């Protein structure tokens, strides 16, 4: 899967003391009270209620993998009601197609035209490592690409931290597989960190720009960092249209060649 669908975070660990024991965090934050933690959780709920029911947008991606850099462009369409998504990636210079992703309910299809290969996967079991990415819960990735603050499933609140000065705060969540931290400036979440407890893989997502159209919002600028694999992606959405009628392109619109190889994952 294109590395643009990677995502998300680093995090902390445990107990009544500060979850991270480094001096920087210890000197800058103190444990929040229950009311402050509740306010952070309520802020996430409010943000997610404003996620769009549909959108269409163009985007560009500036990426770094190790010492190599690249630039992509493309377009995206999404319908929450239909659980449908279309993402097309093109080479920035030659405008040649690189990868196309189709979501139809639980089914994810990933088409590589140069190799004439179509991978068929399921969003409940997909492992992005199979496509040159890293193993991150697909729901997290799907959330950040559809205007939702992605939360790890079945989480418990581990701790809330409030800055000693300023308006910053941190909410720390945990489930059986991940730690997740969400950073806030005031009531607005602007950064996610995630760590896989088993593999130690660490990811970060920065939400740098939020646009509002009507009652909905969308994260227009995202930076995604995978610390372990030295991947950094700067994604900028343009020509964003929220909650307008959109016909999401499907695999039937792709007009695949007859000799395409279909691979069931």
Does 265 reside within a domain?
no
What is the rounded CA–CA span in Å between residue 182 and residue 38? 14
Domain contains 261:
no
Query: What CATH number is given to the structural domain containing 60?
Result: 2.50.20.10
Number of domain units in the chain: 1
Q: Is the pLDDT of residue 10 over 50?
A: no
Query: Does residue 227 fall inside a structural domain?
Result: yes
Q: What are phi and psi of 151, to 5 degrees?
A: -120, 140
Burial label, 218 (beta-carbon count in 10 A; 0-12, 13-18, 19+) = buried
Residues 223-241: what's their mean pLDDT? 87
d(CA 34, CA 24): 23
Residues in the chain: 265
Distance of CA 65 to the CA centre of its chain: 18
- Indicate whether 176 belongs to any domain: yes
Q: Is 260 contained in some domain? A: no
Please report whether residue 244 resides in a domain. Answer: yes
Q: For residue 8, what pLDDT is reported?
A: 26
Q: What is the pLDDT of residues 24-82, one digit of tens each?
A: 466 788 889 899 999 999 999 998 999 999 999 999 999 888 888 889 999 999 999 99
Both structure tokens of 60:
């560009």
Domain span at residue 86? Answer: 3-255
- Tell me which residue of 26, 42, 33, 40 sits closest to 164, measured CA to CA: 26
CA dist 111 and 102 (Å) reads: 8
pLDDT digits (tens, 9 = 90+) for 88-138: 999 888 888 989 999 999 999 999 998 999 999 998 888 777 776 555 557
pLDDT digits (tens, 9 = 90+) for 195-222: 888 888 888 889 888 899 999 999 999 9
Burial of 159 (0-12, 13-18, 19+ CB in 10 A): buried
Q: Establish if 264 belongs to a structural domain.
A: no
Position 10 in a domain:
yes
Residue closest to 111 by CA, chosen among 3, 2, 7, 6: 2
């Amino acid at each position: 899967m294109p590395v643009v669908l990677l995502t998300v975070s680093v995090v902390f660990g445990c107990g009544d003391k500060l979850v991270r024991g480094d001096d920087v965090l210890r000197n800058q934050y103190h444990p929040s009270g229950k009311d402050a933690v509740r306010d952070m959780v309520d802020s996430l709920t409010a943000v997610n209620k404003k996620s769009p029911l549909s959108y269409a947008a163009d985007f560009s991606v500036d990426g770094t993998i190790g010492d190599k850099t690249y630039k992509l462009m493309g377009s995206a369409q999404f319908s929450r009601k239909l659980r449908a998504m279309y993402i097309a990636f093109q080479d920035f210079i030659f405008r040649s197609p690189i990868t196309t992703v189709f979501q139809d309910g639980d089914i994810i299809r990933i088409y590589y035209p140069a190799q004439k290969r179509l991978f068929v996967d399921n969003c409940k079991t997909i492992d992005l490592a199979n496509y040159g990415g890293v193993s991150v819960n697909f729901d997290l990735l799907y959330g950040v690409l559809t205007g939702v603050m992605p939360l790890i499933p079945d989480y418990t609140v581990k701790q809330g931290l409030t800055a000693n000065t300023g308006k910053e705060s941190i909410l720390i969540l945990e489930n059986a597989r991940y730690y997740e931290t969400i950073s806030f400036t005031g009531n607005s979440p602007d950064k996610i960190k995630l760590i896989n407890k088993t593999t130690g893989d660490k990811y970060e997502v920065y939400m740098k720009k939020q646009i509002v159209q009507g009652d909905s919002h969308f994260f227009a600028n995202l930076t995604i960092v995978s610390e372990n694999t030295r991947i950094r992606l700067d994604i900028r959405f343009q020509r964003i249209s929220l909650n307008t009628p959109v016909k999401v392109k499907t695999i039937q619109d792709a007009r695949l060649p007859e000799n395409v190889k279909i691979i069931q994952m």
